[in-house]
Structure 1
Amino acid sequence: MSAKLAIVVPCYNEEEVFPTTVARLLALLDGLQARGAVTPDSFLLFVDDGSRDRTWALIEEHTARDRRVHGLKLSRNCGHQNALLAGLALADADALVSIDADLQDDPEVITAMVAKFHEGCEVVYGVRNSRASDSAFKRVTARGYYRTMQLFGVEIVYDHADFRLLSKRVVAHLQEYAEVNMFLRAVIPLLGFRSDIVYYERAPRFAGISKYPLRKMLAFAMTGVTSFSVAPLRFITLLGFLTFMFSFVMVFWVLYGKLMHGNVIPGWASSVIPIYFLGGAQLLSIGVLGEYVAKIYLESKRRPRYIVEKQV
């Protein structure tokens, strides 16, 4: 049985890769349609995330040439996750696949994803076979990132980015998550539903430059941790408690030295002990307050994630 498929592609300054990306994805749709896996009205949706080059102009050109190409222009650069959310929210299809415009994630794997969907899976994750193509620095930082997320209790699929298939029902439930700082890699596993994994080899970028330098990667990692874990705040609480207890030990140590040996430096105890005591008490208090502030912070923001300027 055929399903209507939408391939959602966030774009930010992808002028160099766009023509090749469109051609490869349209060829993929042709193949899926020929096999009867998808319906003739399946389509591509390119989301322009405030690009500064000719990305949007190219999108408009291709929408005029082929009815299967659609475009969505955001009013400004809202970030990869928000661009992806905008595309998922506005693409009306039975199954929706998200993939980056550079096609480093193998688009041919979408065929296997669609097959899994027909078998009853509502979430299909694209997971890398290996990181052999990465630099040593990239491999170390990536592994450290996933292990850190798991250490903080964040449920995340190892070596999975944002290459996945979601059913229409899953996307509908995804819209119920109202937090502004969305981190899809951790939200999707929270949704549940029947899921599976397909593996692929990640290809080198064939044109253009990466839109995720180290600075953005670190910010993205921080968003993931602070959006789904209060472990850092609890660490502060623990640190404050340990410091607080250490100050008590210092009090007994100073009293013991004074009473038993009389060798305490004059003025030292009265200066150092209050510093340790107050510092520990303040950290403990900040940690406890932080537990409540974290809950309020996660629920209080209601700014729009994105604003759609134009749709074609």
Structure 2
Amino acid sequence: MLALPATPRNKPRLAIVVPCYNEDEVFAYCQRELSHLLDTMVQEQAVQPDSFLLFVDDGSRDATWAQIKNACAKNQHVQGLKLSRNVGHQSALLAGLETAVRQADAILSIDADLQDDIQAIPRMVEAYRAGYDVVYGVRESRQTDSWFKRATAESFYRLMTAMKVRQIPNHADFRLLSHRALTALLHYTERNTYLRGLVPLVGFPSTEISYTRGLRTAGVSKYPFRKMVALAVEGITSTTTAPLRLIAVLGLCICLLSLAAGLAVLVQKFNGATTAGWPSLILSVFFMGGVQMLSLGVIGEYIGKIYLETKHRPRFHVESFIGGTAD
């Protein structure tokens, strides 16, 4: 259940954080549309005049950083943050959030492809001013997705719900956070980061803003099927231990099944009805072998995360920053 709002607020200094990876083809459109929207909101006195855009270059191999620098030179409301290498969408987004929280009252994140409707941003700011600390952008439908992507996404959300993971369905990383909510979020220091599962843990008054997701104007998606599967595994193993419990339940069920089969064999033996069963023997060996390999794989995934967490490695390194007053 979403929390109720607190005391209404004054117009904020808004930061719009945009992680970018090889967005050369779409950057000009993204920067133009967001700058125009920000100027309009300033003119309508919805946000402070010193609100800004922060583009985070996640180790792009094309001209993305050159375009960010050019935009910073031409527009005082644009800032750029360049990471030393590609660290992935979630870590790049966190780098931008950590930078923006030092300068802004409300911080909004959106992907560079602008498939998320930017016209929902004024409504999200209104919700912030009404007293909400967390404003989720939620898709009304997934009609722009392929049948396969819709089916897998819906299955994933149902699976996460079954595992008791707190997550907003049809919400990605299009959200607005107040300064205090983001400060609380940044206290979660794990390296295996899944923001969609962490943000609901922060608490504070929250609400949802629905919007219609559009088509990508240029470039290609940075989340192919392989990365979608990796994100799903990250989300499950970073937020719940339900798979480990499932292995324990599966092991118990197999033990009970084996006990029942053993009793049946004993009954047949005393009745003199035992027969040679090579196929059943081979099938049972392969079945148990598969279960053991799957169980070891799930356990290994969790052990690997423990291994990475104990190293306390930094999530990212900043190569350069342009614009603004961030340290």
Q: TM-score, normalised by structure 1?
A: 0.90
1:212 equivalenced with 2:226 (yes/no): no
Cα separation, 2, equivalents of 1:76 and 1:292: 26
Aligned to 1:307: 317
Aligned to 1:147: 158
Cα separation, 2, equivalents of 1:77 and 1:302: 18
Aligned to 2:76: 67
Deviation at 1:76, TM superposition (A): 1.0
Matched-pair identity in %: 53
Cα separation, 2, equivalents of 1:207 and 1:287: 38
Instruction: Name which of structure 1's ranges 228-237 and 43-52 shifts more when overlaid on structure 2.
Output: 228-237
1:49 equivalenced with 2:58 (yes/no): yes
Pairwise mapping of residues 15-94 of structure 1 onto structure 2 (< 5 A)? Answer: 15-91=24-100, 92-94=103-105
Aligned to 1:172: 183
Aligned residues: 307
SS at match of 1:160: coil
Deviation at 1:251, TM superposition (A): 2.3
Deviation at 1:113, TM superposition (A): 0.7
Query: Which string of whole-angstrom CA distances, capped at 9 and with x for unpartnered residues, describes residues 206-252 of structure 1?
Result: 11111111111111111101111111111111111111222222222
Aligned to 1:258: 269
Query: Which string of whole-angstrom CA distances, capped at 9 and with x for unpartnered residues, describes residues 43-66 of structure 1?
Result: 100000111100000001111111
Contact in 2 for aligned 1:179/1:298 (Cα 8 Å): no
Cα separation, 2, equivalents of 1:132 and 1:288: 33
1:243 equivalenced with 2:243 (yes/no): no
Cα separation, 2, equivalents of 1:263 and 1:294: 49
1:289–1:130 Cα change, 3 Å: closer
Query: Which string of whole-angstrom CA distances, capped at 9 and with x for unpartnered residues, describes residues 100-138 of structure 1?
Result: 001110111110111111110000000111112222222
Contact in 2 for aligned 1:236/1:287 (Cα 8 Å): no
Contact in 1 for aligned 2:56/2:82 (Cα 8 Å): yes
Cα separation, 1, equivalents of 2:60 and 2:48: 31
1:196–1:292 Cα change, 3 Å: closer
Cα separation, 2, equivalents of 1:308 and 1:30: 28
Partner AA of 2:211 in structure 1: Y
Contact in 1 for aligned 2:106/2:179 (Cα 8 Å): yes
Aligned to 1:124: 135
Cα separation, 1, equivalents of 2:60 and 2:122: 29
Query: Which string of whole-angstrom CA distances, capped at 9 and with x for unpartnered residues, describes residues 168-199 of structure 1?
Result: 11111111101111101110011110011111
Deviation at 1:264, TM superposition (A): 2.2
Quick one: which of 22, 25, 44 aligns to 1:13?
22
Computed over aligned residues only, the root mean square deviation of the Cα atoms, in angstroms, reads 2.8
Aligned to 2:5: none
1:183 equivalenced with 2:199 (yes/no): no
**Unpaired segments ≥5 residues, structure 2:** 1-9, 323-327
Contact in 2 for aligned 1:233/1:287 (Cα 8 Å): no
SS at match of 2:319: strand
1:223 equivalenced with 2:234 (yes/no): yes
Cα separation, 1, equivalents of 2:276 and 2:155: 48
1:202 equivalenced with 2:213 (yes/no): yes
1:159 equivalenced with 2:177 (yes/no): no
Aligned to 1:233: 244
Partner AA of 1:206 in structure 2: T
SS at match of 1:204: coil
Q: TM-score, normalised by structure 2?
A: 0.86
Task: Identify the structure with bigger relative contact order (alpha carbons < 8 Å, sequence gap 6+).
Answer: 2
SS at match of 1:76: coil
